[in-house]
Structure 1
Amino acid sequence: MNIEKKKRVAVVTGASSGIGEALARELAGNGIQVVLLARRFERIDVLASELGHGAIAIKADVTDRESIVAAANQVEQTLGGVDILINNAGVMLTGPFDSSQLDEHRQMVETNLLGAMTVTEVFLPQLRRNKGDLVNISSVAGRVAPSGFAVYAATKWGINGWSEALRVELQPDIRVMVIEPGAIATELADHITHEESQSVAKSALDWAIPPSDIAEVIAFAVNLPKRTSINEILIRPTVQMM
């Protein structure tokens, strides 16, 4: 009797653009069923239709636990739970550390760090049962902290430390991987409100690498045999100095 093997299910947060969108395309191309989570539902709905093969779009905000719980319930009921959880949602609102960007400082902490923690906490029972993979998207700013990146770097250093602690705590049932991209050609710079910082960030787009390069590396890592774990990957454009 032939029994069709269940496809692995990958949940990708921040899937409406950039690395998240590229990941959805790459993973779907690898035969993995993708669940797209983002606030901008119109974008992920179109992407899910384009990908086909059972791709699902769910409107969710990583800073809103109720929306994540609802998404997790839908994944559990319709797909049997998640096998690969990718915490990709994030914002980069760089600028001098002063009182003029207090709301943006809070937004970065709540999205980049607390958001990843919330999503993981909610989906963790599914990951445990399915002996899955947890992939956290950090940044080169989780290793170095240039001027103007104080709060953003704090969130990414936090992601790195949290990921390492989880690696120890959750192994061998769950593999934990942290990815630290350098300059990537995404929309992140468009949302920076500090003019000089935005100009610096956008100048890096001249030599930034495409999100698809990051997606290929992550797909390779999650497709390795379970006996092997790539726990930390730093990826820079070849010309990047920092």
Structure 2
Amino acid sequence: MANAFRDTGHEVWATARKLEDVQQLSAAGFCARQLDVNDAHGLTQLAGELEQRHGGLDILINNAGYGAMGPLLDGGVEALRQQFETNVFAVVGVTRALFPLLRRNRGLVVNIGSVSGVLVTPFAGAYCASKAAVHALSDALRLELAPFGIRVMEVQPGAIASQFASNAQQQAEQVLVADSPWWPLREHIQARARASQDKPTPAAQFAQGLLAATLKSPTPALVRLGNGSTALPLLARLLPQRLLDKVLRKRFGLLRPL
């Protein structure tokens, strides 16, 4: 996404938590800054620097996130809290910190959600819940920010080629232990963690689609991009819940008693 927007003339400020990632972004020609999206002080500093340099902001893309995979009860409240801290709370925190700059430029907020917020699957309950929350927050923000001339667009990607699956699988392995009641289903849990890389759409293609959406007038409230982004929500809408449950239970080995 950073490349796509830069290639059309935007000055891109890209943030990352790890210093080596920041250095790589800087070497690629971006205005790179080290930032944890849950760090209020860091957000204040970033907003101040943007204010001094430009005085306003045209587009904010809330893209930080990760997937907490594994049985919901194994991860418990703490895993759910951590998932919401980054995937949900940061959307509000970052947007709030940069609101004055967006207001000045009558800018656009782009929230990266997921089709997982629409079609909920087992072994990804915390992640699906966080993306469902992003959908609700995007709807609320779109209405509340409209009087200030700020537009809000939610993007629900399907399968996109990235490191998401690798990171999600690591998360699942940390949560799932041998004494878990779901240990016999560990292969299915790992399969859910890898699901985002099932025939994924190239990231560059996704970025071009997102860029094109930001240029549309009026700005679309919801954009679905990538493999499965249309079919999976349609499946969730058309199939009776009992039948959908049976399909998902079969897919993830949950038909037999444990």
Tell me which of 197, 203, 213 is aligned to 1:211: 203
Equivalent in 188, 199, 223 of residue 233 of structure 1: 223
Shift of 1:121: 0.6
TM-aligned CA deviation for residue 183 of structure 1: 1.3
**Secondary structure, counterpart of 2:33 in structure 1:** strand
SS of the counterpart of 1:148? Answer: coil
Q: CA deviation at 1:240?
A: 8.3
Q: Select which of 96, 99, 107 maps to 2:71.
A: 96
Q: Any conservation in 1 of the 2:159–2:229 contact (CA below 8 Å)?
A: no
Residue of structure 2 aligned with 1:62, choices 23, 37, 40: 37
The alpha-carbon distance between structure 1 residues 238 and 162, as it changes in their structure 2 partners (threshold 3 A), is closer
- 1:184: Cα distance to partner? 1.4
Amino acid at match of 2:129: A
The amino acid across from 2:190 in the alignment is Q
1:189–1:198 CA contact under 8 A, matched in 2 = no
Q: Which residue of 2 aligns with 1:186?
A: 162
Question: In the alignment, which residue of structure 2 is the partner of 1:27?
Answer: 5
Q: TM-score, normalised by structure 1?
A: 0.82
Residue 51 of structure 2: aligned partner? 76
Task: Decide whether the 8 Å contact of 1:207 with 1:239 is kept in 2.
Answer: no
Does the C-alpha gap of structure 1 residues 108 and 239 become closer, same or farther in structure 2, counting only changes over 3 Å?
Answer: closer
| Superposed displacement of residue 42, structure 1 | 2.0
What stretches of structure 1 of length at least 5 have no aligned partner?
A: 1-22
1:40-189 alignment runs, 5 A limit = 40-50=18-28, 52=29, 55-171=30-146, 173-189=149-165
**What is the aligned length?**
215
Give me the identity figure in percent: 34
After superposition, the CA RMSD in angstroms is 1.9
Amino acid paired to 2:222? E
Asked whether the 8 Å contact 2:72–2:123 carries over to 1, the reply is: yes
**What 5-or-longer segments of structure 2 have no aligned partner?**
174-185, 233-258
Higher Cα radius of gyration: 2
TM-score w.r.t. structure 2 length? Answer: 0.77
CA distance in 1, matches of 2:129, 2:8: 34
Q: What secondary structure is seen at the aligned counterpart in 1 of 2:99?
A: helix
User: Residue 200 of structure 1 corresponds to which residue in structure 2?
Assistant: 192
C-alpha separation between the residues in 1 aligned to 2:190 and 2:163?
11
Q: Comparing both structures, which one devotes a greater share of its residues to helix?
A: 2
